[in-house]
Amino acid sequence: MREKAKNLFFYIGIICELVVSFTGYAFTDYGENIIILAAMAFFGLSICMDLELKKMWPWYVGLGALGVLFYYFQKQALILRIVLAILAGRKKDSREVVKVFFWGTLGVTFVTAVLSFFGVGRDFYVIDTFRHVDEIRYQFGFLHPNSFALFWFKVLVFGLYAYVVPGEKGKLPKPVLYGIAILFLAPLYFAKSKTAFALGGAAIVGFLACDLIRWKGFRTMLYIFGNALMAFEVWALFSCMTWLWPVEGKANKFWWFLNYLTTGRTHLIHTLHENVKPTWMGVSLGSDATEVGFVNALYNQGKLFIILYLIVLFGLFFWLYRRKNAAGMILVLAFTAYASAEAFLPYFNKNGVWFMLLGVGTYFSQKEKKENENRCSN
C-alpha cells in the first residue's frame, strides 16, 4: 500500500509537470502556478513515503539547500522543482517516466494541431519574414514554429529512447519503428526548424548505428565523440559570447560560420555580454536574455548553476557509458546540441537530460547490496 501511494504521488507530480511544460509554448493563463505547486507537493509526499535518512540525509540536506538557495536569489522554483523530481524519482525507471511524457506530449500536440486546423486556438501556419525572406512555416497551434519544433523534437527523441532500444526486440519490428521515426521528421520539415530537423535525423541515425554496429569499441567511440562534441559546443558558445568577433573590419570566418549556423544567435549573445555581465546567481533577465540555452541559463540562473550543470552533464554521460546505455547517451547528446538554439536547460519538463538522472538511486542501492553480499561471501 505504501509503495502504491508513493508511486501514485510521484506520477501525479510528473503529470503536473507535463501539463505546465506547455506554458508559453502552446497555452497560457490556465493556473500554471497552482499546478506547479501541486507538482512540488506531490513529489514531496512521494519523498516522505520513502525516506532513507541514514543513507540519504546528506543528499536531502545538500540538494534541498541548493534548491532553496536558488529560489531565494531568483524568486523562481525551477531548480527546486528539479531537485524534488529527481529525489522522488531516484528509484524509478527513467524509460517508464519518458513514456509518460512521450504519450502526453504527443497527445496534447496532436489535439492542439487538430483544433488549430479547424480554426480553434492559434494559427495552424504563419507567413512571415524568417531568415530575411518571406516563407510559410507551420506552427500547428503553438505560439511559434520553433515552439512546436521543441515539443515535437522531444516527442521524437523520447519515442526513440522509450521504444527503440538498441540491441533489444521491440513490440514492433525494428524497420517499422525506424520508419515511424522517419515519418515523425515530417512535421519538423513543415515547421522549417533546421536545427530540430537535423538533430532529429541525427538521433535516428545514432540509434540505428547502435543497433547495426556490433563492434565492441563503438560505444567507447560514441563516448569520446560525445564528450568532444559537448565540450566544443560549450567552448564555442562562450567564446563567441566573450571574445570571438570580426577584428579590425576583417571578418573572423569561424565566427561568421557559427553565426550562420545559429541564425544570428552568436551575434546576439556577444551583444548581450557587452551590455550585461553574468552573476553567480543570475540577473533576472527572463527568457528575453537569449534563445541560446547555455547562455540563457548563465544569465538567468547564474554562473553557479552552469558550473553545476556541466559537472552533472559530463558526469551523467560517463555514468551512462559505464552502464552501457547507448540510448541514454544519444538522448543526452541530442538535447545538449539542441540547447544551442533553444533555452530549456533549467526546466525539468523540457530538458531530457534531467530524465536520465531518474533511477540513479536504484543503481547505487543494487551496487551496495552486491558489495555487501561479496563481503559476506568472503
Q: Which is higher by pLDDT, 271 or 164?
A: 164
Take residue 346 and report the three cell numbers written for it.
533549467
- Is there a single domain that holds both residue 171 and residue 231? no
What is the domain count for the chain? 3
pLDDT at 78: 94
- Is there a single domain that holds both residue 27 and residue 155? no
- Is there a single domain that holds both residue 349 and residue 237? yes
Q: In whole angstroms, give the CA distance from residue 86 to residue 60.
A: 11
Q: In whole angstroms, give the CA distance from residue 54 to residue 373.
A: 20
Report the range out of 121-125, 209-213, 228-232, 368-372 with the highest average pLDDT: 228-232
Q: In whole angstroms, give the CA distance from residue 350 to residue 58.
A: 28
pLDDT at 287: 52
pLDDT at 365: 53
pLDDT at 258: 72
In a domain, 378, yes or no: no
- Is there a single domain that holds both residue 61 and residue 114? no
**CA distances for 84 relative to 23, 41, 47, angstroms:** 20, 9, 8
With a pLDDT cut of 70, the percent of the chain lying above it is 90
Domain range for 72 is 1-92
Q: In whole angstroms, give the CA distance from residue 240 to residue 250.
A: 16
- Is there a single domain that holds both residue 223 and residue 352? yes
pLDDT at 19: 95
The number of residues in the chain equals 378
Confidence of residue 367 (pLDDT cuts 50, 70, 90): low
Least confident of 181-195, 273-287, 300-314: 273-287
pLDDT at 363: 59
- Is there a single domain that holds both residue 239 and residue 280? yes
**Domain end marker among 189, 214, 239:** 214
pLDDT at 142: 95
pLDDT at 51: 78
Mean pLDDT value across residues 99-118: 96
The secondary structure of residue 93, as a DSSP letter, is -
pLDDT at 289: 63
- Is there a single domain that holds both residue 136 and residue 194? yes
Residue 159 has pLDDT above 80, yes or no: yes
Residue 44 has pLDDT above 60, yes or no: yes
Residue 248 has pLDDT above 50, yes or no: no
- Is there a single domain that holds both residue 313 and residue 190? no
